[in-house]
Amino acid sequence: MVLAPIFGYLGDRYHRKRLLCLGITFWSAVTLGSSFIPQERFWLLLVTRGLVGVGEASYSTIAPTIIADLFVSDQRSRMLAFFYFAIPVGSGLGYIVGSKVKDLAADWHWALRVTPALGVLAVVLLVTVLREPPRGAVERHSDSPLHYTSWVADVRALSRNRSFVLSSLGFTAVAFVTGSLALWAPAFLYRSCLAAGQCRPCPHGEACSSEESLHSLIFGLITCVTGFLGVGAGVEISKRLRRTNPRADPLVCAAGLLGSAPFLFLALVCARGSSIATYVFIFIGETLLSLNWAIVADILLYVVVPTRRSTAEAFQIVLSHLLGDAGSPYLIGVISDRIQRGRPPSYLLEFHSLEYALMLSAFAGVLGGGFFLATALFIQGDRKRAELSAQGLLQEAESEERIVVPQCGRSTKVPVSSVLI
């Protein structure tokens, strides 16, 4: 969260490929280094795990802007879908690979030594394959240079971009739900098993660890499959609806969030009675939730001018982490502990307290759907503004009121609303 705005500023002004390589190399190094920290230096493990955010701050803010400068329209949407498969699919693979590597090596440290190798591969491919495109190259119809403004002016313009702000709030709700599920879903499923008397923990914890690892494995598989299906389906549905409805993107996002909420709620209330029904409802809910990933990125890229896209990505990351997946797991845990306070401990109480706390995620999904519905009201005007600005037809100082349009060999100022219409 702290470094995302810094990489956003650098990504809009400097060589993006070098910044990507730097961030991913640093991320891989601290991940590998953290696996060798002895137990008595636990504080150092926390520091190195926190520094992993340097890598995310680099590629999450910069990589989508490179895709935006290579492709346009429906092709861009498809390429963004390929990129954002990595979030749900990679998260699911993390559960699977992490648990299996730990079991095979009989040491959890080895789980942290797998991903650095993938980071090295990513850097090699970036150096040898990627050719950085000029900013806004595929959207501009003239050779005139891009108009850069100060970072303060960029932030001010983004704060006035209603589609960007509202879609970022909607995406924050997605992060809130996914963050809470990522941490608490395996534990909740295991507690439901204990509460129903379907399994018993060993006094030394071996059975508990094995049973919860099984739930982590199943949840990871579900996350992989639903991510693959949801991201691809979201892009294709939006692409087809866009032909008849220019507001299709935020409406599909809203439908995904609003549709996922009841299924996640049903997964919670059915957990004690039927684990199969719970997994089915989680599968449907996560699929609907995954409709958003690539579409939200596409919205940001076409309502923000090329010279501000990395900064916009950075602030969306800050907002979604700060109010989303950084705080939601802790908040769920606090609510669950508060419900248990003053009551006799039991497996049933532990299950119900976490069940009631996780219901907050369903309500967050409904709230996020409302933000995307609000985005649909402004998406057309904000998109047209960004397109005109990228083509050099919209002057920065007059972007909110009047624009300059060539007419009969001379430039004439006309109200922006007339051009947007």
- Ramachandran region, residue 43 (left: φ > 0; alpha: ψ -120 to 50; beta: rest): alpha
Q: What is the sign of the dihedral through the CA atoms of 7, 12, 15 and 16?
A: positive
Q: CB atoms < 10 A from the CB of 151, how many?
A: 14
Strand partners, 415: 402
pLDDT at position 421 is 45
The b/e string for 231-268 (b: 16+ C-beta within 10 A; e otherwise) is bbbbbebbbeebeeeebbbbbbbbbbbbbbbbbbbbbb
> What does residue 140 show for φ and ψ, rounded to 5 degrees?
-90, 145
Strand partners, 8: none
Q: Residue ranges of the domains in the chain?
A: 4-131+142-394+403-420
Q: Which DSSP category does 396 fall into?
A: G
List the end-to-end C-alpha distance of the chain, in Å, as a whole number.
38
Reading the block at residue 227, the tokens are 């991510």
Q: Which helix (H) or strand (E) holds 177?
A: helix 162-195
Q: What is the sign of the dihedral through the CA atoms of 195, 197, 198 and 199?
A: positive
- Residue 88 contacts residue 38 (beta carbons within 8 Å): no
CA distance 369 to 32: 39
Tracing tokens 């891989």 back to the chain, one arrives at: 28
Reading the block at residue 403, the tokens are 């624009």
- Residue 185 contacts residue 223 (beta carbons within 8 Å): no
Q: In 3D, which of 193, 180, 177, 190 has the Cα closest to residue 217?
A: 190
Cα 151–chain centre separation: 24
pLDDT tens across the length of the chain (421 residues): 888 899 999 989 888 999 999 999 999 999 999 999 988 899 999 999 889 888 888 888 899 999 988 887 778 888 888 888 777 777 778 877 887 888 888 888 888 888 898 899 999 999 999 988 888 777 665 555 667 788 899 999 999 999 999 999 999 999 999 999 988 988 898 888 888 776 665 555 444 556 667 777 788 788 888 888 998 899 999 989 998 999 999 999 999 999 999 999 999 999 888 888 899 999 999 999 999 988 998 999 999 998 899 999 999 999 998 999 888 999 999 999 999 998 998 888 999 999 999 999 999 999 999 999 999 999 999 999 988 887 765 554 444 444 444 445 554 555 544 444 4
Q: In 3D, which of 62, 23, 16, 83 has the Cα closest to residue 293?
A: 83
Q: In 3D, which of 155, 160, 167 has the Cα closest to residue 298?
A: 167
What is the CATH superfamily name and number for domain 4-131+142-394+403-420? Answer: MFS general substrate transporter like domains (1.20.1250.20)
Q: Per-residue DSSP letters for 280-340?
A: HHHHHHHHHHTTHHHHHHHHHHHHS-GGGHHHHHHHHHHHHIIIIITTHHHHHHHHHHHHH
Reading the block at residue 288, the tokens are 């609907």
What Å distances lie between residue 264 and 24, 153, 181, 279, CA to CA?
Answer: 34, 41, 10, 10
CA distance 11 to 61: 7
Q: Which DSSP category does 144 fall into?
A: P
Q: Which residues are CB-neighbours of 41 under 8 A, at least 6 positions away?
A: none
CA distance 378 to 247: 9
pTM of the predicted model over 0.75: yes
